[in-house]
Amino acid sequence: MCGALRASDAGKKAVLMGWVNRRRDLGSIIFIDLRDRTGVTQVVVNRELNPSAHDKAEQLRNEYVIAVIGTVKQRDRDTVNKNIPTGEVELIIEELRLLNESKSPPFLPGEAILPNEEMRLKYRYIDLRRDAMQFNIELRHKVSKAIRDDLSAQGFFEIETPFMTRSTPEGARDYLVPSRVQPGSFYALPQSPQMFKQILMISGFDRYFQIVRCFRDEDFRADRQAEFTQIDLEMTYPQTDTVWGVVEGFLTAAFKAAAGQEIKAPFPRMSYDEAIKRYGNDKPDMRLPAMVDVRAALMPEELDELAGKFRMRKEFPLQLIRIPKAGEISGTERRTIGTYGAFQHVQGPSFVQLMTDPKRFAKDYPAPSEKVQAFAKIEPDDLWLLAGAANHPEKAAVMDQRVQHFCEKCGFLRLDLAQKYASRHKAFEKTGDPAKDFRFLWVSDFPMFEWDNAEKRWNPAHHPFTTLHEEDMAKLEANIDSVHDPKSPLGEIRALAYDVVLNGTELGSGSIRIHRQDIQKKIFQALGMSDDEARARFGFFLEALEYGTPPHGGIALGLDRIVMILAGAESLREVIPFPKTARAVDLMVDAPTPVSEAQLKELGIAIRKAQE
């Protein structure tokens, strides 16, 4: 291979095949950098020694494919190229064969400057020849292999499930495949193998996994792919801990094998409630400190005074947000921080009251200032501010009064500030740092249902096969017919659902499942689904649940995202060989496309005009 030869090979004969990465014609001598997946070797063609090879070499252009036979020669000391592993040798050509020509490519794989992404996606085969892409695809292979090996060693079988199937309720739209044999009927591509993996548990395969493609038709979202890959698994008789241990095992193995990164397990754990309260977010970025409710540091009269002065609700947390080592913040910057408009998520009714100038705060309120700083362990280089819930009676009506929403706003502010100011300190750099700071976390006990404001109804927060905390059962039963009531206590029910989070990104979600048909029915009822409707959509599944279903649970993690993080890439498209654009278009094959009238007829399909 073109990356193999070393000084110790000097004197040996070698055959290399690859692409012409670059050709330098010095007249009687032509240098060719010959490239394949493994690297580049300098090949030398000398007119005097080998006139016929030299003639051929004169015709070579970038990306031509050639084979060369020659003798390995150690380079003179002053011509050694320290930048490449083969830099101590060159191959002196005896024979050169042109295997194929190439049109002049729209961009060169060896060039540092990248063309725009459309060009890269259209000519993906050229783009994939680039070092960075070769690295990413190899990394992807290593990650999947490490995961397969580890899960196999943990007793999991990889089992395939169908692509042409029925709808799976993961909250997105389905991609449909029309049936020719039964015109008017459609398969749905799976949004996940959820029901199949549960049926595998009923079928006696106690530990299943699959590195599997999932298909979700979602509206335009920047970093999503219409088809993406999950590491999907399911097991019988688990506690949440059991599932977590399995995941920690394969993630540790993958990070080690693929990137030499040692990660520490078990990962820290946190309930959803705690995550919201302390981080204002259900996927906390643990590289930044939590928010601190500093009310505990103050005397009641101090709190009263602040609440009065800042028109702030003292029964809500007074959150101290701290960005460590942000450095000196100029007066102008501080004023920007002080205006809500600077932070997109905190716009609108001034729900959050900010005290952004610690110096002024210290002057006006010396004792409280000192106390809260000590309480939150503020250091000299830190950026910090206080956020409280505004006490504006005229706004109270339009604001959601819940503490959760206040905390979420603070959480957005924390992240906005971090993005702006924490990048000044290394630990928060998102990419490109080999000594990456990987902070994993389990978040558990998510709400079972979430309110959908557009549809004015409660939806499953995870999916409808997730089980709830046993002690919340009575609450479910008492509110089973309140799917359209935004104030329904359904919102308080906790699920045995969990997410694994890395540096503020959700890597995967899972849950302990419902294994009893009567409970599954209740969940469907709470979701406003009639018996008939449930039977029509999931009849096969409800029936399977009646045949001795063991307790089971599982999880699915996004493979693309894991590889993206390990590669230090900014987009999923950098780690997927043939990705689609944000509008779900494949620019290389040009899909989707209209199909012929004959094909449509065969399928019994007529295309409606837009206005219809």
Name the residues that contact ligand ASP, by CB under 6 A. Answer: 170, 192, 194, 509-511, 554-556
Q: What angle is formed at CA 69 by the lines to CA 63 and CA 72, rounded to 5 degrees? A: 105
Beta bridge partners of 90: 73
Please identify, using beta-carbon distances, which residue of 161 and 281 lies nearer to ligand ASP: 161
How far from the centroid of its chain's Cα atoms is residue 571's Cα?
Answer: 9
Q: What backbone torsions phi and psi does residue 261 show, to the nearest 5 degrees?
A: -95, 125
Helix (H) or strand (E) holding 502: strand 497-502
Please state, as a whole number, how many other Cβ atoms lie within 10 Å of the Cβ of residue 210. Answer: 23
Please state, as a whole number, how many other Cβ atoms lie within 10 Å of the Cβ of residue 366. Answer: 10
Q: Which two tokens stand for residue 44?
A: 């030398």
Residue 247 Cβ vs ligand ASP, minimum distance, rounded to whole Å = 11
Residue 554 Cβ vs ligand ASP, minimum distance, rounded to whole Å = 4
Q: Which two tokens stand for residue 399?
A: 């604001």
Helix (H) or strand (E) holding 383: strand 383-389
Please identify, using beta-carbon distances, which residue of 479 and 511 lies nearer to ligand ASP: 511
Residue 332 Cβ vs ligand ASP, minimum distance, rounded to whole Å = 44
Residue 561 Cβ vs ligand ASP, minimum distance, rounded to whole Å = 13
Residue 407 Cβ vs ligand ASP, minimum distance, rounded to whole Å = 25
Closest to 95 (Cα-Cα) out of 60, 53, 64: 53
Say how far apart CA 569 and CA 78 lie, in whole Å. Answer: 36
Please identify, using beta-carbon distances, which residue of 41 and 509 lies nearer to ligand ASP: 509
Please identify, using beta-carbon distances, which residue of 231 and 385 lies nearer to ligand ASP: 231
Residue 465 Cβ vs ligand ASP, minimum distance, rounded to whole Å = 8
Please identify, using beta-carbon distances, which residue of 312 and 555 lies nearer to ligand ASP: 555
Please identify, using beta-carbon distances, which residue of 418 and 468 lies nearer to ligand ASP: 468
User: Parallel, antiparallel, or unpaired for β 383-389 and 319-323?
Assistant: antiparallel
Quick one: angle between helices 559-567 and 131-153, nearest 10? Answer: 130
Please identify, using beta-carbon distances, which residue of 289 and 554 lies nearer to ligand ASP: 554
How many helices, marked H, and strands, marked E, lie in the chain? 18, 21
Residue 506 Cβ vs ligand ASP, minimum distance, rounded to whole Å = 10
Say how far apart CA 231 and CA 243 lie, in whole Å. Answer: 13
Sole residue written with tokens 């300190």:
425
Residue 609 Cβ vs ligand ASP, minimum distance, rounded to whole Å = 36
Please identify, using beta-carbon distances, which residue of 170 and 174 lies nearer to ligand ASP: 170
Please identify, using beta-carbon distances, which residue of 369 and 509 lies nearer to ligand ASP: 509
How far from the centroid of its chain's Cα atoms is residue 243's Cα?
Answer: 20
Sole residue written with tokens 């308080």:
492
Q: Which residues fall within 8 angstroms of residue 265, CB to CB, at 6 or more apart?
A: 245, 248, 249, 251, 252, 440
Q: Are 184 and 193 in contact (CB under 8 A)?
A: no
* Residue 126: strand, helix, or coil: helix
Residue 233 Cβ vs ligand ASP, minimum distance, rounded to whole Å = 7
Residue type (1 letter), 353: Q
358 cis-preceded (ω within 30 degrees of 0): no
Please identify, using beta-carbon distances, which residue of 70 and 553 lies nearer to ligand ASP: 553
Please identify, using beta-carbon distances, which residue of 368 and 558 lies nearer to ligand ASP: 558
Please identify, using beta-carbon distances, which residue of 32 and 556 lies nearer to ligand ASP: 556
Q: Which residues fall within 8 angstroms of residue 70, CB to CB, at 6 or more apart?
A: 13, 14, 16, 43, 91, 92, 93, 94, 95
Residue 235 Cβ vs ligand ASP, minimum distance, rounded to whole Å = 11
Please identify, using beta-carbon distances, which residue of 136 and 161 lies nearer to ligand ASP: 161
Residue 367 Cβ vs ligand ASP, minimum distance, rounded to whole Å = 50
* Residue 499: strand, helix, or coil: strand
Residue 547 Cβ vs ligand ASP, minimum distance, rounded to whole Å = 21
Q: Are 593 and 168 in contact (CB under 8 A)?
A: no
How far from the centroid of its chain's Cα atoms is residue 542's Cα?
Answer: 32
How far from the centroid of its chain's Cα atoms is residue 585's Cα?
Answer: 20
Q: Which two tokens stand for residue 188?
A: 């749905």
Say how far apart CA 141 and CA 258 lie, in whole Å. Answer: 9
Say how far apart CA 484 and CA 557 lie, in whole Å. Answer: 32
Residue 238 Cβ vs ligand ASP, minimum distance, rounded to whole Å = 12
Q: Are 202 and 550 in contact (CB under 8 A)?
A: yes
Residue 245 Cβ vs ligand ASP, minimum distance, rounded to whole Å = 16
Residue 251 Cβ vs ligand ASP, minimum distance, rounded to whole Å = 15
Please identify, using beta-carbon distances, which residue of 461 and 587 lies nearer to ligand ASP: 461
Please identify, using beta-carbon distances, which residue of 86 and 192 lies nearer to ligand ASP: 192
DSSP state of 348: S
**Alpha-carbon radius of gyration of the chain:** 30
